[in-house]
Amino acid sequence: MKEIKAKITFTEELLGTASSDPEVHKTYIASKAPNAPKLEEEVEALGVDNIAEKSMTIFPRDKDGNPILWDYQIKGFFKDSCSALRKVTGTASSKIKAYKKEIDGLIFVFPREIKINLNGEIGICERPLRAQTAQGERVALASSETVPAGSSADITIRCLSDAHEKAVREWLDYGQLKGLGQWRNSGKGRFSWEEIK
């Protein structure tokens, strides 16, 4: 078993991904994981008392009010990274067969609540969302809390199979190209990382 302790530092602002409306969040999580034992904990962590705009995406908060990421968001990033890097010949990711099952069952991220160490104030990012529909083009405005570039988080990744260590490092490196959270395809949430000894 290999363990990697990493400090990730966001080189671009990171956008919140949780709905500020607890009912929407609860319904969405319930539809994805109806037996999730921590559902109430996640809804409580939204801290919506401070948010006036119910359609905004926000960061969940820990008991001290600090913004957090959930462990499963990092695992989701790993799955997305592995999916892309599997197409690159010679990568460690290209050797992993049923990659989603491997990541779910053999790679674990700690702690569950990953505190974001802020480098400044939480901001707001508003951006247009465009969609082509049968009725023509539709445009809506999306609004998200943001964590500024330079903010960081400490995580521990435990690989039950030593063979996955190289792939995990590859995925963390991929964070420089494609980030975490909302609007990651535009470069938001990109990060660099360093190993903590």
**Quick check: 65 and 52 in contact, CB under 8 A?**
no
Q: 101 by DSSP, 3-state: which? A: helix
Q: Which residues pair with 130 in a beta bridge?
A: 139
Spatial separation of the C-alpha atoms in residues 136 and 134, rounded to whole Å: 6
Confidence at residue 12, expressed as pLDDT on a 0 to 100 scale: 96
Domains of the chain: 2-195 (3.30.70)
Q: Tell me which residues of the chain have a pLDDT lower than 50.
A: 48-53
Task: Pinpoint the alpha helices (H) of 110-191.
Answer: 165-174
Model pLDDT for residues 10-19, shown as the tens digit of each residue:
999 999 888 7
Task: Pinpoint the alpha helices (H) of the chain.
Answer: 22-32, 39-44, 71-85, 99-106, 165-174
Rg of the chain over all Cα atoms, to the nearest angstrom: 17
Spatial separation of the C-alpha atoms in residues 123 and 14, rounded to whole Å: 10
| Residue 70 main-chain phi, psi, to 5 deg | -95, 150
Confidence at residue 70, expressed as pLDDT on a 0 to 100 scale: 95
Confidence at residue 115, expressed as pLDDT on a 0 to 100 scale: 98
Tokens of residue 125, six digits: 């990012």
Tokens of residue 98, six digits: 């049923």
Nearest to 155 by CA among 59, 62, 41, 68: 68
Q: Within a 13 Å sphere around the CA of 134, how many CA atoms are in the beta-carbon half?
A: 0
Spatial separation of the C-alpha atoms in residues 189 and 174, rounded to whole Å: 12
